[in-house]
Structure 1
Amino acid sequence: MSSIPGGRSRRVDGERGLAFVGLTALTGAYASVLWRVTDVVGGSPEFAAVVVASIALAALVGRYVGVRVALGVTSGLLFLGLLTYLFALPQSQVALLTPERVVNDTLALLTGLSILRLVGAGVWAIAVVPGPVFLSWYLAVRRRYVSAVVAGSLALALVVLTGDADAVATVVGVLGATTTVAASTFERHGGGLAQADVLTALLAAMIVVSATFSVVPGAAGSPLLPDRGAPTVEASIVESRDNVDIVGSIRLSPDVRFTVESPRSEYWQTAAYDRYTGDGWVRTGNTRPYDGRLSGPPGSTRELEQTVTAEAPLSILPAAWKPVDVGGAVASETVVTPQGGIRPETTLQAGENYTVTSRVPNSTSERLRAAGTDYPDRVSSSYLQLPESTTDRVRERAETVAGEEETPYDKAVAIESYLEENKEYSLSVPRPTGDVADAFLFEMDAGYCTYYATTMVVMLRSQGVPARFVTGYTSGEDLGNGTHVVRGLHSHAWVEVYFPDTGWVRFDPTPSGPRQTAEDARIAEAQQSGLDNIDYGEPNGTTPIPSNGTDTPNGTGAESPSTPGEVTTTDPTNGTQPPADGFAEAVPTAGPSDGGAGPFPTMPTRRTLVVALIGLVGVAAGARRTTMAERAIGLLSVQFQRRRDPDSDVRRAYDRLGTLLEREHRARRPGETPRAYVESLPTGESRSAAEARRVVELYERAQYGDGVTEREADEAVSTVDRLVRASTPILRWLR
């Protein structure tokens, strides 16, 4: 009798282990998202230590402390975390914290505000994680698995709602929660691990469904299967989003977006981004209403007035850096970003216009070389950030290229020139995995503006030079009367470097010649195709744009041709589905590097193959549960028979007949003779019944009598073959 409790104990231990495996997956899902935040902004070792300490604390007190005390500990951890976060914020940000602002920011987090946009994102992640980790593991130690899943799932739901959790993290978390709940059910109601095939089939179905239909919340960031609605770089510019995702192959859109009346050509900036995530850019902080003239950059500037007219719906306010005054009806709907840019809270319709006055930095190369490195704290804290996972070889390459230069200006020129001279310009590139700058420097031969600009900013920051990633449009086509026509293909990304007493100064590492060629070719192609919204007046060439590299910065001397920009997309529909904003967005080009058409069929992606494999595992588990696999194997086993000697052939024929009769009627009972079994079946006096009895007669002679002849063996085998064909629909149809 003692073996029964022992067996029960082993089974319970197995189910308890399964519950902790599931909880580990759930915890790892949301913790991995928050860990990535700390990797981007700093503090990942501290974050890992806090998670481990929270689990250890839960394991320590779980056996001795009641639930009420544990809830108090959890509340205390959350409160201490909130205080830590508030004390870590800059004083300027704390001054803005009102009850209304706190409520609004909380609602924003729950409706898609990325954690990476928070000013103290790393401290926030470290402050938030102890509460749910401690509570969920404490409840698991107390064998309250369902409650533990609820506590962990709340944390997972938070990172899903903020949009920071991709499909993989979301699915892993859901599977972990499901596993823990299933283990709790097994432990409470029995069944144990023998029910693992049911759980396997269920989890596999969840993965396949979520991957195929992209219904998992938060999956848009990284779907397991291709997302056919992925945004383009131009869409991120046009829609003034707070983050830029770097994608793969692109094409150019020739549609006219807006016109600018300006006595001088400039880059028309729309957004600046301060936080690099490794695969894209994020703008941190909150906007504030525009309430009058803004401050200009320090140092010498020149005033530039521009009148911008929308030629299509426009949700941006393009302007030369740095805008200080906005005029027109849109002024009351304008907000100012923490990076000093402007953006509308409404959409300008075609024909609407506004006037913006900018103070453009006006500094010489000599003055920039003498600017020094006395950066304000707000600049150093925001524009020197790099993910902790930035590779050493990126830093070493930056040191090789610019380490011997004495001034930040010369470092910027050296890196700009290096990228222009060592990388080719191409619109057809595969989206790299991992860190974009690392991939562009060491694994890619070519790229376009977002790759060049991202890599230059990363290299500069690794050298201690504050820099940021900027998006907008190049000057466009000059019609000769101060009017600049700006198309979608003029969308662009470049770099701005900060200099004390001057402010932000533009550098553009993307080669201008190939971009100009690509622009001209795309416009000519669109005109030959007769597309609408292409022709606009008679262009007088492209107004030269000031060079900020090896010549002179920001228009203080020699000028170089303007550089058209790029429009990107990952939409494989080839433009057949119009985007939501009505613009004719670009679609990927087919080429060797991006999986275009070729002599061989395109292989599925690795993630697709993984999903397919998981689906097959689920089907196999479901088949085992329904005995479908056994029945299928049995059906296959009766289809063919290898011939040996007469007696063996008859015995094999009888075995095939038994499998067939079992599938159609019932299995032979223990102790029931073959003859009695066949006689008991409801086959009556049909031909098949007579044939079955004949096979049994031959079997008895082969098994117990003097044996059978070759002819009788042929008769038994052919009889069973005929019965198999009659009972197998596809074989019956092929006859």
Structure 2
Amino acid sequence: MSANRTDGGGEGSGGRFTEFLQPPLLAVAVLTLSYLSVLAHVTDVVGGTGSLVLVAAVAAGLATVLGRFLRVRSAVALTTVLLVGGLTAYFFSVPESNRALFTVGRVLSDTVALLTGLSVLRLTKAGAWALAITPGPVFLSWYLAVRREYGWSVLVGGGTLCFFVLTGDAGSGTTLVGVLAAAAAIGFETLSVRGGWAAQLDTLAVVLAAMVVLSATLSVVPGGAAQPLLENRGAVTVESSLVSSNDEVNILGSIRLSPQVRFSVQSNTPEYWQTAVYDRYTGGGWVRSGEDQQLSGRLESPPGSSRTVVQTVEARTRMSALPAAWKPVDVDGINENVVRVTQQGSFLTTDSLRENESYRVRSEVPQYTSEQLRRSGDDYPATVNDSYLQLPESTSDRVRQRAAEVAGNETNAYDKAVAIEQYLEAEKEYSLTVQKPEGDIADAFLFEMDAGYCTYYATTMVVMLRSQGVPARFVSGYTTGEQVGDDRYVVRGLDSHAWVQVYFPEVGWVTFDPTPSGPRQTAESARLTEARQSQEAGVDTEETDPESQTTTPTPTPSPTTGNETNETANGTQTVNPNALGQEGGTNSNPAVTPPPGLEGVTGTTGETEDDGLPSLPSRETLGVGLALMVGLAAGARRTGVTGRASRFVWMVHQGARQDPVADTERAFRRLEYLLEREYRPRRPRETPRAYLRALSKVGADERIQTVGAVYEKAHYGTGVSAEEADRAVALVDELVREELPVLRRL
């Protein structure tokens, strides 16, 4: 760490401005911006980026002013006040019903969870948390940098960035930039103290390259963002994604369908088997916010009329999700202590179900008619408005405009949803082979992509509805599966799917599915046929084996009508189980593309569709490769390898011809270097003629005398002809070739 070198206040404004152009200070500024970019993303998603910029600017300005006279101990105390004050403000910004969860044990548990992969975006009031946490590290890090305590400044800023790396919110690009900036700040400070940073630039380049490569290839802690230490904190793995409810969903590129059987269901009606609900849209995917609670008693039924659906689910592979029809209210057959309830109302478990284990779940499925949904109005609960109208601040105006063009003329939420659902079904093609777009998924799908699969359709529909003031959310799970008997269904990985739920007052959440059903079933059927022909394992059970069983088409719930009730002649309402559409096909597996986290898997291999073209490396990979090459080049220069290599090339290659005199002089310099390595260098005041004669006496080749004579004539005499110059060059080439093994050893 550097000593305190704060100067007095006698400098002019120009001198003070120059201080802020010092390389170490600029590097600290880049490090600060790297972790602020993470917080900016959080506030972009939930709102408040302008406030974040203001808070960060005030904290940095305060540090700049106080850095000249405030003692370090006082600055640390002020930082503590900023952090405590910010977190206190965050505590009171959280809904009162959630404050009871802020026990010491729960806070410690959540802190550990954050450090092992829980995204900041999962926090309740994540924007308020970002604003609360920003002033402390910005103030202290910049205060120390202003005082030229760059080591301590990097410790504060780097620690903050490391925190976001552990939560999984800092991407690889942000991490690389932060690591480079931290290393540069320390390196520039050290080199400037020595008075020659430019001369040591190659050393700094080697250090930076090593840090970049290590940060990109080594895991920071066990678990990390990809494998949290705590259970149910968003572990994203290939096979477990099919049977677990992850905290976060990232939209993928090209995918394949998995034909393996996951579970079977005994149910009195066919339904979509829901596993997870996501409320917070990030632009590139979805996050499930809020705290999970341990199941304690029966959950509330939907606000309106409902019918009871009892399901017995048997695992056919290891599962950590609890698929169930919406809305699940009770579960048994599984230890209640390991069952959790998400803030969105889904069940999940902290302990995986083993193969052949089963549980029984009771769901209260909402009952409604189209007219009832049209009349439901827009008197939404505050909690619904707060969570399910959220859109990133960066959502483009053209997305909002397109949503208004499609549904703006409709007067109620139901007709808006139907209009958007039908628009997406008609305007976009269904395909499993797509390239993941850069930027906002909904914007890209609407304006840049011709085709996509369920996650693209569902994401875009939710965004369009929210832009029209209609609460909606993204749901993942499985479609009904293959019907193998009365009220019995077998569900495969290729039945995984993503769809949309829209909220209606006095009814609750209602399912819509904008993904075209016909192409989905075609893709699913083709994959299942391929798997059976290639005799892949786990594709069929005794009930589904096509050689021994004859199955009937599976009725699959039509998203917008599957739970409707029909008016009878006497005015009573009855459930119409076959207002349940067949989703456009007769195949017994009405499922489709795997949804976020549920897609992109064939068995356990996670293969993706191959279009025959080599895929380009990611920008992060290219960046790491570039850093590695720069580091290797700087290391070679530092160790003299590049100098020796360039000298070797110069030795063996005369280069392009110029004029005879220049060619002769260069040939003689090559000869002189060759003789220096083989015998000795020419001594001061020793003439070329005397040098060559002396070496001839100790065994040097006589051809050196001929070259020396041509050189004397060119350098000291009247010049030489082209033929003489060519002769000298040719003789030197011969001598070099004969001595090449010696040069290699040297």
**1:657 pairs with one of 671, 695, 700:** 671
* CA distance 1:710–1:384, change in 2 (3 Å): closer
**2:715 pairs with one of 684, 693, 703:** 703
Distance in 1 (CA, whole Å) between partners of 2:523 and 2:561 is 24
Q: Give the match's secondary structure for 2:436.
A: coil
Counterpart code for 2:46: V
Which residue pairs with 1:468 in the alignment?
473
Q: Give the match's secondary structure for 1:347.
A: strand
Asked if residue 256 in structure 1 is aligned to residue 283 in structure 2, the reply is no
* CA distance 1:186–1:16, change in 2 (3 Å): farther
**1:543 pairs with one of 554, 562, 572:** 554
Distance in 2 (CA, whole Å) between partners of 1:263 and 1:642 is 88
Q: How far is 1:569 from its partner? A: 9.2
Distance in 1 (CA, whole Å) between partners of 2:329 and 2:629 is 61
Contact 2:255 2:599 (8 Å CA) reproduced? no
Q: Give the match's secondary structure for 2:500.
A: strand
Asked if residue 283 in structure 1 is aligned to residue 288 in structure 2, the reply is yes
Distance in 2 (CA, whole Å) between partners of 1:113 and 1:603 is 30
Q: Give the match's secondary structure for 1:479.
A: strand
Q: Give the match's secondary structure for 1:559.
A: coil
Larger helix fraction of residues: 1
Asked if residue 558 in structure 1 is aligned to residue 570 in structure 2, the reply is no
Contact 1:275 1:385 (8 Å CA) reproduced? yes
Counterpart code for 1:541: T
* CA distance 1:648–1:241, change in 2 (3 Å): closer
Q: Give the match's secondary structure for 1:335.
A: strand
* CA distance 1:569–1:457, change in 2 (3 Å): closer
* Deviation sequence 1:298-343 (CA, Å, 0-9, x none): 1100001111111111111111011111111344421111111101
Q: Unaligned stretches of 5+ in structure 2?
A: 1-10, 227-234, 544-548, 566-574, 584-589
* CA distance 1:641–1:321, change in 2 (3 Å): closer
Which residue pairs with 1:418 in the alignment?
423
Asked if residue 567 in structure 1 is aligned to residue 567 in structure 2, the reply is no
Which residue pairs with 2:366 in the alignment?
361
Which residue pairs with 2:8 in the alignment?
none
Contact 2:258 2:494 (8 Å CA) reproduced? yes
* Deviation sequence 1:460-500 (CA, Å, 0-9, x none): 11111111100110000011321100000000000000111
Contact 1:237 1:471 (8 Å CA) reproduced? no
* CA distance 1:661–1:34, change in 2 (3 Å): farther
Asked if residue 496 in structure 1 is aligned to residue 529 in structure 2, the reply is no
* Greater Cα offset, 693-702 or 149-158: 693-702
Asked if residue 196 in structure 1 is aligned to residue 201 in structure 2, the reply is yes
Asked if residue 313 in structure 1 is aligned to residue 328 in structure 2, the reply is no
Contact 1:413 1:550 (8 Å CA) reproduced? no
Which residue pairs with 2:232 in the alignment?
none
Distance in 2 (CA, whole Å) between partners of 1:42 and 1:182 is 37
- The 5-angstrom pairing of residues 167-178 of structure 1 reads 167-178=172-183
* CA distance 1:430–1:669, change in 2 (3 Å): farther
**2:688 pairs with one of 670, 674, 678:** 674
* Greater Cα offset, 345-354 or 467-476: 345-354
Counterpart code for 1:428: T
- The 5-angstrom pairing of residues 186-335 of structure 1 reads 186-211=191-216, 213=217, 215=219, 235-335=240-340
* Deviation sequence 1:568-596 (CA, Å, 0-9, x none): 79999996xxxxxxx535421112xxxxx
RMSD, matched Cα: 3.1
Distance in 1 (CA, whole Å) between partners of 2:678 and 2:489 is 81
Which residue pairs with 2:408 in the alignment?
403
**2:698 pairs with one of 680, 685, 689:** 685
* CA distance 1:662–1:268, change in 2 (3 Å): farther
* Deviation sequence 1:219-252 (CA, Å, 0-9, x none): 978xxxxxxxx95787435122111111100011
* CA distance 1:573–1:193, change in 2 (3 Å): farther
Which residue pairs with 1:508 in the alignment?
513
* CA distance 1:673–1:495, change in 2 (3 Å): same
Q: Give the match's secondary structure for 2:351.
A: coil
* Deviation sequence 1:123-158 (CA, Å, 0-9, x none): 111111111111111111111111111111121121
Contact 1:252 1:522 (8 Å CA) reproduced? yes
Which residue pairs with 2:607 in the alignment?
587
Q: How far is 1:540 from its partner? A: 2.2
* CA distance 1:610–1:173, change in 2 (3 Å): closer
Asked if residue 433 in structure 1 is aligned to residue 454 in structure 2, the reply is no
**2:120 pairs with one of 105, 115, 121:** 115
Which residue pairs with 1:131 in the alignment?
136
Q: Give the match's secondary structure for 2:320.
A: coil
Distance in 2 (CA, whole Å) between partners of 1:501 and 1:48 is 41
Counterpart code for 1:446: A
* Count of equivalent residues: 700
Q: How far is 1:372 from its partner? A: 0.8
* Deviation sequence 1:341-386 (CA, Å, 0-9, x none): 1011211111111111110001111111111111111111001111
Which residue pairs with 2:650 in the alignment?
637
* CA distance 1:647–1:100, change in 2 (3 Å): closer
* Greater Cα offset, 193-202 or 605-614: 605-614
* Deviation sequence 1:386-424 (CA, Å, 0-9, x none): 111111111111011001100001111111100011000
Counterpart code for 2:607: V
Q: Unaligned stretches of 5+ in structure 1?
A: 1-5, 222-229, 576-582, 592-596
Distance in 1 (CA, whole Å) between partners of 2:87 and 2:596 is 40
* CA distance 1:569–1:37, change in 2 (3 Å): closer
* Deviation sequence 1:6-47 (CA, Å, 0-9, x none): 9xx99x978971111110121011111111101101111000
Contact 1:234 1:567 (8 Å CA) reproduced? no
Which residue pairs with 1:625 in the alignment?
638
| TM-score under structure 2 length normalisation | 0.87
* CA distance 1:401–1:526, change in 2 (3 Å): same
Contact 2:250 2:597 (8 Å CA) reproduced? no
- The 5-angstrom pairing of residues 53-68 of structure 1 reads 53-68=58-73
Distance in 2 (CA, whole Å) between partners of 1:632 and 1:110 is 48
* CA distance 1:96–1:570, change in 2 (3 Å): closer
* Greater Cα offset, 723-732 or 284-293: 723-732
- The 5-angstrom pairing of residues 34-53 of structure 1 reads 34-53=39-58
* Deviation sequence 1:610-662 (CA, Å, 0-9, x none): 44444443344334434443443333334135456655543232122234445
Counterpart code for 1:590: D
* CA distance 1:392–1:644, change in 2 (3 Å): closer
Which residue pairs with 2:489 in the alignment?
484
Q: How far is 1:291 from its partner? A: 1.9
Counterpart code for 1:560: G
Asked if residue 69 in structure 1 is aligned to residue 74 in structure 2, the reply is yes
